Each structure stands twice: as structure tokens, then as C-alpha cells.
Amino acid sequence: MTATTAESTEPTPGSSASRAAQILARPVSINGLTVPNRIVMAPMTRMFSPGGVPGEDVVSYYARRAAAGVGLIVTEGTYVGHESAGESDRVPRFHGEEQLAGWAKVAEAVHAAGGTIVPQLWHIGMVRRPGKPPFEQAPAVGPSGIRLDGTQDGRAMTRGDLDDVIGAFAEAAAAAERIGFDGVELHGAHGYLIDQFLWAGTNRRTDAYGGDPVARTKFAAEIVAAVRASVSADFPVVFRYSQWKSDNYDARLAETPEELEAVLAPLAAAGVDAFHASTRRYWLPEFDGSDLNLAGWTKKLTGRPTITVGSVGLDGDFIRGFAGEGSPVKGLDDLLDRLEREEFDLVAVGRALLQDPEWAAKVLAGRFDDLAPYDAAALKTLS
């Protein structure tokens, strides 16, 4: 973490800056991992890894943020070892000798800078388009061969397909521990494969993997259990999930806390150590009658540590950033209030950290005036 040496820049006791330092700088434990503070780098797809191999620029990109005070880095999504897992040859993969050697360098550099790091393990399922790399002939597969828009042009997964994907996640998790990572995050959000099983809109199966919410959770729970069995008992397993999908912001897995508990309980029982609850705006309540956001409800229902995320530090939706729109800086008082009352445990920061590698250092030192608005041009570089 970058230290402040000028006395005049020290936060005034009782100020928002002082509160930020006190509340965000506290360590927190996830299973056997102690994270040095409450700031998490959110996973953000960057597509700077030709051949699926993270190079020295990717090493520097993550290490720079760890050196500036990010407590836990969740890497961009990385494809597991299944041919239908992705659709780009520039998105990193978490299988293959050269790819894993690149990731080992990332982990080493982050540790040297004082941070902790987990890879996000990813399979896109029915989001895959025909003929795309890295394996052009691989079909799009999902629970029912149904895309997020309701069209059916993929293949419903067989029992063999399910076993192959479950095995791919378990192998990637074992590799993460072997090459020095601190845990893993499973991408079960935003309409990708695991989420396609969780959501009734894409899961029309009539076997044990479809039907009511608990049955739709079976595939995800089996992945969690296989991952849990492939790594050490104190190696953290984080599960990221969302209500919204990448092209359906009104989609919901659960309309009530009771329905949400039906989804989360099997995952917690299977071995999830922490949940990463993805929302577009962290300050919005998830259900009527309570101010709790999705991460807050998740913690209340499961008792597990939770990570909140969604436009932290910025006043504007991240989706508009892909259309070239920027976002002004937003204060953190409400976020600090929620952390102080332990609604959730950690805070994932996306665009603000993409824009400014020093964001965590500035916030922890109370240098709010030095924070810059988000410029969508930051998406085009790996700085």
C-alpha cells in the first residue's frame, strides 16, 4: 500500500476520509485466507492474452493494483479446460502448460506486492457463438440448448457433458492451488453456463438438473463439491452469482428471500466459503421491506462472508461504459455505513480500479480529491 508522508494529507479524525481508512483497512478471513483489507478488485474481461496466455503486461497490470493496496484480486474470467468454454483466443485460459506458467507469474507478482489473488473460473455455455476460437468446431452447450434471448440453437448437455465440465472446473481449481493462487472464484453469474442452469429462463430440463430452484442448483452444487474435493480444506472457494443476466437486467433467480435461500443453501452446503453477489448498483435494496442489498441478504441467509459489487465509487452504470460513456466520482459514505454495520464483508471495485491503479491507496489514505472520474477509454488499454 502506498503510504502518505505529508502530514497535511492525513485524514481528519471523524471525517469520511478517516472512516474509510478505519473501515476498509481491517483484515478479514475467508476460510484459511487472511485478506489484508476489505478492497477487492472485481473480475473484468480485458482480452489482452493472445493464445490465452497472460504475458508480462498482464503480470504488471495485476501487480500494480496489489502494490497500491488492493487486498484481494479476482482475475478476469479464465476459460476452464472444456472446448465449448469460451469464444475468444485473447481471453486467458486456465489450462495448458504455457497458460498456467503465465498465471503462476501473475500470482507470484501479486504476492510480492503484498496482495492476495484468486482466478475466476469460467464457462460461457450458450453465450458461445458458432465458429469462434479458440476451438472453432466446438458447439454451444447449455442445460437446454437455449440462449438468453430464448432462441434454441445449441445443444442440451448430456450426462457425459456435465461430468466433463464438472471435471474441468475441478482440474482448474487444483491447478490454481498448485501454482500458488490463494483460492478460486467460480463464475455463476450474468447468464453464463452455471447461471444458465440456475435460471428458469434457460433451464427447461426435466431430469434431476431442472425443475424447481433446488433442482436447478444441482449442477452448480456438484461443481462446488468437485472443486472442494480437489483442493485443500483451507483453500477458499468463492461463488459469484447474480440475479440479472448480460442482456436481461430484470431477470431474477429469486423474488423473495425464501426463494433465494433455496438457491444458496445447497451451494453453501457443497462447500462455498464466500459469495460474491453481483449487482449493477450496490446501494439498491434487493427485496421489498428491507434495505439489505443482494450481498446483505446472502450473508444473512447463509452466514458466509460476502462481497458486494456494483458501481462502487462511481455514479453511473457500468453497462453504459461499453457504449463509450464515462461516470463521475460518487462518495463512499453509504458504502462505509453498510460495511460498518456488517451488512457484507468486502467490496469489489471495477471501473474505478480500471481507470486508476492507485484507487485503493488514495481511498485508504483519504485522498478523495485525487480520485478521477471514469473514462471509457480505459477499456482500451492495459495500464
Phi/psi at 356 (nearest 5 deg)?
Answer: -135, 105
Across the chain, where does the E strand assignment appear? Answer: 28-30, 33-35, 39-41, 72-79, 116-122, 141-142, 155-156, 184-190, 237-245, 274-278, 306-309, 346-349
Residues 105-113 have a mean pLDDT of 98
pLDDT at 26: 97
Model pLDDT for residues 110-122, shown as the tens digit of each residue: 999 999 999 999 9
Cβ-contact 344, 295 below 8 angstroms: yes
Catalytic positions, written as ranges: 192
Name every residue whose Cβ is closer than 8 Å to that of residue 152 and which is 6 or more positions away in sequence: 144, 145, 146
Residues 350-374 have a mean pLDDT of 94
Mean model confidence pLDDT for the chain: 93
Ranking 12-21, 61-70, 193-202 by mean pLDDT, the lowest is 12-21
pLDDT at residue 360 tops 70:
yes
- Please count the other Cβ atoms lying within 10 Å of the Cβ belonging to residue 330: 18
pLDDT at residue 224 tops 60:
yes
pLDDT at 14: 54
Query: How far is the C-alpha of 169 from the C-alpha of 122, rounded, in Å?
Result: 8
Residues 119-141 have a mean pLDDT of 97
Following CA atoms 143, 144, 146, 148 in sequence, which dihedral angle do they give, to the nearest 10 degrees? Answer: -30
Query: How far is the C-alpha of 323 from the C-alpha of 340, rounded, in Å?
Result: 35
Model pLDDT for residues 49-82, shown as the tens digit of each residue: 999 999 999 999 999 999 999 999 999 999 999 9
Q: What is the largest CA-CA distance in the chain?
A: 66
pTM: 0.94
Phi/psi at 277 (nearest 5 deg)?
Answer: -95, 105
Model pLDDT for residues 261-286, shown as the tens digit of each residue: 999 999 999 999 999 999 999 999 99
H-type helices in 83-147, by residue range? 97-112
DSSP 379: G
